[in-house]
Structure 1
Amino acid sequence: MMRSPLALAMTAIVAWSLIAPVSKLALVSLNFYNFLFISNVISCVAVGAAFAVMCRGNFARLSPVRRTNQVAMMAGVLDCMFYLGIYHGYRISNGVAVLIAQYSWPVLIVVLSAVFFHVRPTARQGMGLACGVLAIIITISHGDPLHIGLGHPGALGLVVGGALCFAVLSVLSKYYMDDALAGTVWLFVTSTLTSLAVGAAAGGISLPPAAALPTLVLNGVAINGLSYIFWIVALARGNAVRISALVFLTPVLSTLWLVMFFHEPFLPAYAVGLCLALAGGLLCMRGNAAES
């Protein structure tokens, strides 16, 4: 499997599609601060072990003075904020609605590029932005513009705020791809420290119940740990543009799991919102590919 970029990418996609159902399962017995911190600790161990196996003794790549690792540290803070936002959303709102708002990040990448890097959106990206905005409006209104909300007044802001953090993280990731494996180690180290600081300040860090350990290990090792390594290797060995487009399978699979196993209500408005979110993301990504 390690020799096939497509197999590696699909493994990561399937792992990420489990974020929503595993989050809803874990948050029954854990607060989201504890869930993120302990998962990050386990991810650090898993990714660190993978680096130790693959680095061939060159531990100097982990030097904190390297600029690429410093960029990865900043990305780690954003990674923590991203997960805090979406975990909070999954705890208090409909999972499918949160999922659609979460996947506004490709649209936000285009907005950030236009505002901060003065990159003018292409016609396709403009269409993608329109689709993304419509997806969120239709989703949060349940198809009725007079009813806006995700079931909680702050849920929309938290989820979209998390998506914004992920969009910035995605832009920053270009600057540590020269040694993405070492960068990923630092990303999880910084995310762990940030989640510890935020969780401790909120009084949300404690020992987890024994029944939650299997979910924590699954989330830390596979979903938020080794999947990053698989994705990085897939991008390095395969066609990065085509492989990146596969990420839009994630919300489709996540929706399937939520409806099948958690009996989440799936309104017609969610189907429209999901289609628009997928279309918007693909148009934005295709615009980036055309420019490069």
Structure 2
Amino acid sequence: MNTLSSNTQAMLYGLGAVLLWSTVATAFTLSLRHFSPTQLLLVANIVSLLFLTSLIVMKGECKALLCEIKLSWKASFLLGAINPFLYYLILLQAYNTLPAQEAQAINYTWAIMLSFMAVPILKQRLKPADYLAAGACYFGVLYISTRGNIDTLEFSNVTGVGFALFSTIIWAMYWLLNTKDTRPSIIGLTLNFAFALPIVLTYAAITGELSHWDQGGLWGAVYIGLFEMGLSFVLWNRAMKLTTNASQVANLIFLSPLLSIIWLSQFAGEPILRSTLIGLAFILAGLFVQNWSKRTKKTTL
């Protein structure tokens, strides 16, 4: 790979991350047939922490990790409580109550939520394109939530849609807080999982989720911890460091929901709903408008 240009390497790393992310909805679906959301989060958290810690040991950054624990334990506790604990707990509840294709599509509107939350928190201003993007995305959410019955507003599962939308708020909040995070990226993520683990364990104990384990969900949880919460982040982080055109790599993310629907139908036996395809088309169109607007703004500066 050293003979390839940095941008080519970045695209390959980015594609690797996107391919892994595209399988996560299927892994969620299969694992939640055996594990509760809390049990799935607990196992995945442990696996991801082991993977990230091993990576830090291999890179010889143990001393830096220990220094960051002393310097930023408060930030690590706060960010760990948000992600992975709260974010994945809510997201998995969405997947547990909605068809995975619907939960995944709605979750992709987090970028729109981020733009609106950045107004009061980062004092950023919205552009007309942001409103257009939001209109397209949330129309897509409405179409998916009602399964095409937008004239009667008959929601298929209000609770599940609520969980999916709430997950976008939590994820957007995490990334807004992340803009002020001075920790090295992989060390910071490792500390998030380290500080989140006792929180997840305590929550699991209080809710009685430490007993009655169905071993059928184990390998799916291991897969999620290793690839969704671990390796995919490392690949994406590497891609963004290598590229000279971040928007080109970022556009790869549009492949993920489309591939995910294929994997869900082939491996999880979930029939593809026409309403999901139409709603997802509106959501992706909205995200494209938002990304195009940001790229245009940068080129005119």
- Partner residue of 2:251? 245
Shift of 1:263: 3.2
**Does 2:267 correspond to 1:261?**
yes
Deviates further, 248-257 or 40-49: 248-257
> Cα–Cα, structure 1 residues 244 and 65, in superposed 2: closer, same or farther, change >3 Å?
farther
Deviates further, 130-139 or 245-254: 245-254
1:276 counterpart (278, 282, 287): 282
**Does 2:38 correspond to 1:30?**
no
Per-residue CA deviations over 1:187-244 (Å, capped at 9, x if unaligned) read 2223323322332222223374443332222111122212111111211221333222
Which amino acid in 1 is paired with 2:254?
Answer: F
Deviates further, 2-11 or 40-49: 2-11
- Partner residue of 1:47? 52
Shift of 1:275: 0.8
Normalising by structure 2, we get a TM-score of: 0.87
- Partner residue of 1:112? 117
Q: Is the 8 A contact 2:16 2:235 kept in 1?
A: yes
- C-alpha separation in 2, matches of 1:176 and 1:124: 28
**Does 2:81 correspond to 1:77?**
yes
Which amino acid in 1 is paired with 2:189?
Answer: T
Larger-gyration structure (1/2) = 2
Q: Is the 8 A contact 2:34 2:215 kept in 1?
A: no
- C-alpha separation in 1, matches of 2:263 and 2:62: 41
- C-alpha separation in 1, matches of 2:194 and 2:291: 29
- C-alpha separation in 2, matches of 1:205 and 1:167: 30
Q: Is the 8 A contact 1:94 1:150 kept in 2?
A: no
- C-alpha separation in 2, matches of 1:227 and 1:260: 22
RMSD over aligned CA atoms reads: 2.3
Deviates further, 192-201 or 27-36: 192-201
The SS at the match of 1:28 is: coil
**Does 2:161 correspond to 1:140?**
no
Which amino acid in 2 is paired with 1:272?
Answer: I
Q: Is the 8 A contact 2:31 2:216 kept in 1?
A: no
Shift of 1:289: 4.3
**Does 2:22 correspond to 1:17?**
yes
Q: Is the 8 A contact 1:72 1:173 kept in 2?
A: no
Normalising by structure 1, we get a TM-score of: 0.89
Shift of 1:284: 2.4
- C-alpha separation in 2, matches of 1:131 and 1:177: 35
- C-alpha separation in 2, matches of 1:128 and 1:269: 19
> Cα–Cα, structure 1 residues 178 and 47, in superposed 2: closer, same or farther, change >3 Å?
same
Per-residue CA deviations over 1:47-98 (Å, capped at 9, x if unaligned) read 111111124554356522435x754543322222221122112222212111
- C-alpha separation in 1, matches of 2:182 and 2:154: 40
**Paired positions, count:** 290
- C-alpha separation in 1, matches of 2:241 and 2:76: 17
Matches within 5 A, 1:48-197: 48-56=53-61, 58-60=63-65, 62-67=67-72, 70-79=74-83, 80-145=85-150, 146-151=152-157, 153-176=158-181, 179-197=184-202
Consecutive unaligned residues in structure 1, runs of 5 or more: none
Deviates further, 49-58 or 17-26: 49-58
Q: Is the 8 A contact 2:98 2:161 kept in 1?
A: no
Identity %: 19
- C-alpha separation in 1, matches of 2:182 and 2:239: 13
- C-alpha separation in 2, matches of 1:39 and 1:206: 17
**Does 2:239 correspond to 1:234?**
yes
Per-residue CA deviations over 1:20-49 (Å, capped at 9, x if unaligned) read 111111111111101101110110000111
The SS at the match of 1:263 is: coil
Which amino acid in 2 is paired with 1:218?
Answer: Y
Which amino acid in 2 is paired with 1:158?
Answer: F
Shift of 1:160: 0.8
Shift of 1:133: 1.2
Which amino acid in 1 is paired with 2:79?
Answer: A
- C-alpha separation in 1, matches of 2:29 and 2:65: 39
The SS at the match of 2:184 is: helix
